[in-house]
Structure 1
């Protein structure tokens, strides 16, 4: 009895393998790699569609790679979505039976500027001139007695700097540090996705 069961099980396994192979020959696949302007490329939703009808979906792995398997031959579009990033799409992707269509690593998603907060500022000298090449640090205000360092920037040729932040309510401290100048700080309260502007003026150390 056990021998008969073993034979039946073996036949079923072989049959499943044969059917799977036949199905792969009748269908195709799409693979690609998603890159992002900032943050992780993992967890990007990859949606396969024909016109407005969703056919299937998957998500990218930690490296941004994805594969859509067992796709019927035809012409498709792919939509890429992840919170905080602009939506991406590719049209007129032809899938042929028994072949894998490689989209390469040209799938690039920029930050959706409407979903993040910006702290933008400029640094001036005491005489009112824009100052380039000075360091501006950003910290999150945890409570009245402590802060958490987050990032730093060097002002560009126009004396400007910018920090990109989550849109959740929080308080931040911007600190200007330059040789021969006292540290200058300003607190910024972020409430939602918007642009928050600050102006910092160098203060010479007292002699």
Structure 2
């Protein structure tokens, strides 16, 4: 009987020590977390979208608090950006790039330790007053206009690859046009028509202007 009581007392003591030890460890951990420095700034991130044929890369992002500019960033090739180190508060953002309309987002609330995501809600249309206008005509070998030809436009990337952008069908006079951003770039047109050989033509754009091109399609080989 005494032996049984001894073991029960020993078990109770062990459980008590376990509970006390766990509580002490939890308290120590809580104290350690409390003593760790808490974040004092937050971030804003997002993605800028643009018209087909324009590039979302290199858009200037300026962050304002009231009338004061407090930070800035630039979008990457996908149009993504992130501005870090912002004190808690309300901010406005201004987006600019040559050839695109200016965009603004207001009343973005930043909290310490948090990233506010604007996702892809910002769209910058092409600025019609600062465009590169590509006008062209397609002809047969006899010099007559070729209506109904398909003109496919691609941008030649720095590595030589092609990024498909848009396409047009020539009108009854054999003409077509594309509206392009004014930044320096090389474009390749691929022209196709029934009973004709496919032709390609490259155009260098280096600013807002009208660029003209004429393409002649040879008859398809028989």
Shift of 1:105: 1.3
Cα 1:27–1:82 change in 2 (3 A) is: same
79 and 157 in structure 1: CA distance in 2 versus 1, 3 angstrom threshold: same
Task: Check whether the contact 2:48–2:121 (CA below 8 A) recurs between aligned residues.
Answer: yes
Q: Name stretches of at least 5 consecutive residues in structure 2 with no aligned partner.
A: 1-35, 140-144, 154-163
Q: Could you tell me whether the CA contact under 8 Å between 1:33 and 1:65 is conserved in 2?
A: yes
Query: What is the CA-CA distance between 1:197 and the residue it aligns to?
Result: 7.3
**Paired position in structure 2 for 1:36:** 50
- The 1:111/1:165 distance shift into structure 2, 3 A limit, reads closer
What count of residue pairs does the alignment treat as equivalent?
173
Question: Quick one: which of 68, 73, 78 aligns to 1:58?
Answer: 73
Q: 1:116 aligns with which of 131, 137, 151?
A: 131
C-alpha displacement at 1:167, in angstroms?
A: 7.2
- Name the structure where strand makes up a greater proportion of residues: 1
Check 1:62–1:181 CA distance in 2 against 1; reply closer, same or farther (3 A cut): closer
Could you tell me which of 81, 103, 106 is aligned with 2:96?
A: 81
Task: Calculate the TM-score normalised by the size of structure 2.
Answer: 0.53
The 1:167–1:175 alpha-carbon spacing in structure 2 relative to 1, beyond 3 Å, is same
> What TM-score does the superposition give when structure 1 sets the normalisation length?
0.56
Partners of 1:33 and 1:180 in 2: CA distance: 44
Question: Hey, what does 1:27 align to over in structure 2?
Answer: 41
State the SS of the aligned residue for 1:161. Answer: strand
- The residue that corresponds to 2:112 in the other structure is 97
For structure 1, the 5+ residue unaligned runs are 1-17, 139-150
Q: Distance in 1 between matches of 2:119 and 2:83?
A: 14
Q: What are the within-5 Å matches in structure 2 for residues 1-207 of structure 1?
A: 18=36, 21-22=37-38, 24=39, 26-37=40-51, 38-120=53-135, 131-132=147-148, 134-136=149-151, 153-155=167-169, 161-163=176-178, 164=180, 166=182, 178-179=193-194, 193-195=208-210
Q: Partners in 1 of 2:89 and 2:72 — Cα distance?
A: 16
SS at match of 1:63: coil
**Partner-residue secondary structure (3-state), 2:99:** coil
Flag the 1:182–1:61 CA change in 2: closer, same or farther, 3 A: closer
